[in-house]
Amino acid sequence: MNNIRLNSISKNAVRIIVAAFTCALLFFSSAYPAAAIGSQKSDPTQGEANLNDIQRMTDTSVPNPPLTLKEVQERTQPEKGGLNEVQGAADLDKMKNPENAKGTSFVEEVTEGLRKVTK
């Protein structure tokens, strides 16, 4: 009888430990991307980048009738760097993208870690 009770207590303890470990794993794995570990910190004295060209393009697009398909295709041509039909390539140099970002991405960090482990 004592053996059954001891077995039941040990099973409950293992279940609690597994549940706590799973909760901790879920918490830390969801909090990691938000922490932005390893990314370059912005200068608080600099403020936001002025995207005046985007604002100007938006102000001219809103009161006009919808764009035709040809106009949309012209504004979004990849060789001109167009992002969408409203802003086109306006202030493209001020926007953050993977090509001009100085930080390492999560995929790069994992790849580097796996490379170190497999050597």
Confidence of residue 18 (pLDDT cuts 50, 70, 90): very high
Within-domain flag for 116: yes
Domain that holds residue 102: 50-119
Within-domain flag for 44: no
CA-to-CA distance for 73 and 107, rounded, in angstroms? 32
Same domain, 21 and 59: no
Alpha-carbon separation of residue 16 from 4, 20, 32, 113 (angstroms): 19, 6, 24, 31
Q: What sign results for the dihedral spanned by CA atoms 90, 95, 101, 107?
A: negative
> Does position 7 have pLDDT exceeding 80, yes or no?
no
Distance of CA 29 to the CA centre of its chain: 14
Residue with tokens 């167009």: 82
> Does position 2 have pLDDT exceeding 70, yes or no?
no
What are φ and ψ of residue 97, in 5° steps? -150, 170
| Per-residue model confidence as pLDDT tens digits over 38-93 | 556 666 676 666 778 778 878 887 888 887 888 878 777 766 666 777 776 677 67
What is the model's pLDDT at position 56? 82
Looking at every residue in the chain, the average pLDDT score rounds to 77
Within-domain flag for 42: no
List of residues 6+ apart from 98 with CB closer than 8 A: 105
Least confident residue range of 6-15, 57-66, 80-89, 99-108: 80-89
What is the model's pLDDT at position 47? 63
Same domain, 28 and 65: no
Residue with tokens 């969408």: 84
Confidence of residue 16 (pLDDT cuts 50, 70, 90): very high
